[in-house]
């Protein structure tokens, strides 16, 4: 038996537990992750998950949005709400995925890039601090 076998076993178990807690936290608070993407990024700032500003609307869309009283100074992707309402978050052992189930989502991703459905590093860091770390502390009795 090696000197560090117990420590290595602890680290291995901790890594498995860490992934499990993250997966559980994302499943429990998926609505928060969705809010980060839908409201904090798209609606409020008109940016994707990398912080890049989305290309502006065309003139016709701007006129339609003005009639509806919607913002025209940034691309929000909230015109009919179908796209943003269809966004879902799935958590797995090693990752989570943000997807949309509207029939035209591939056109949105093609026009605005795949990062349109990505949570920004800043927002994910906030999620980790507010939701994940308390769950991790609770799981391992650090409260």
With contact defined as beta carbons under 8 Å apart, do 98 and 119 qualify? yes
141 lies in some domain = no
Residue 140 lies in a domain: no
pLDDT at residue number 63: 94
Q: Are 79 and 67 in contact (CB under 8 A)?
A: no
What pLDDT is recorded for position 84? 93
18-to-12, 14, 29, 117 alpha-carbon distances in Å: 10, 6, 16, 24
Query: In this predicted model, what pLDDT tens digit does every residue of 101-124 receive, in sequence order?
Result: 999 999 999 999 999 999 999 999
Per-residue pLDDT at 34 exceeds 80: yes
Residue numbers of the domain that contains 118? 18-134
Residue 40 belongs to a domain: yes
Number of domains comprising the chain: 1
Is residue 8 assigned to a domain?
Answer: no
Residue 21: which residues within 8 A CB-CB, separation 6 or more? 132, 135, 136, 139
C-alpha–C-alpha distance, residues 87 and 26, integer Å: 14
pLDDT tens profile 42-87: 999 999 999 999 999 999 999 999 999 999 999 999 888 899 999 9
Q: Does residue 23 belong to any structural domain of this protein?
A: yes
30 pLDDT more than 70: yes
In a domain, 84, yes or no: yes
């Amino acid at each position: 038996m090696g000197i560090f076998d117990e420590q290595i076993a602890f680290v291995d178990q901790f890594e498995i537990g860490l992934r499990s807690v993250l997966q559980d936290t994302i499943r429990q608070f998926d609505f928060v992750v969705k809010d980060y993407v839908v409201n904090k990024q798209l609606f409020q700032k008109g940016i994707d998950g990398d912080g890049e500003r989305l290309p502006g609307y065309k003139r016709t869309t701007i006129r339609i949005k003005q009639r509806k009283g919607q913002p025209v100074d940034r691309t929000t992707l909230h015109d009919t709400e179908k796209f943003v309402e269809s966004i879902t978050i799935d958590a797995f052992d090693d990752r989570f995925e943000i997807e949309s189930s509207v029939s035209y989502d591939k056109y949105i991703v093609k026009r605005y890039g795949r990062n349109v459905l990505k949570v920004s590093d800043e927002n994910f860091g906030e999620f980790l601090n507010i939701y994940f770390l308390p769950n991790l502390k609770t799981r391992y009795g650090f409260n």
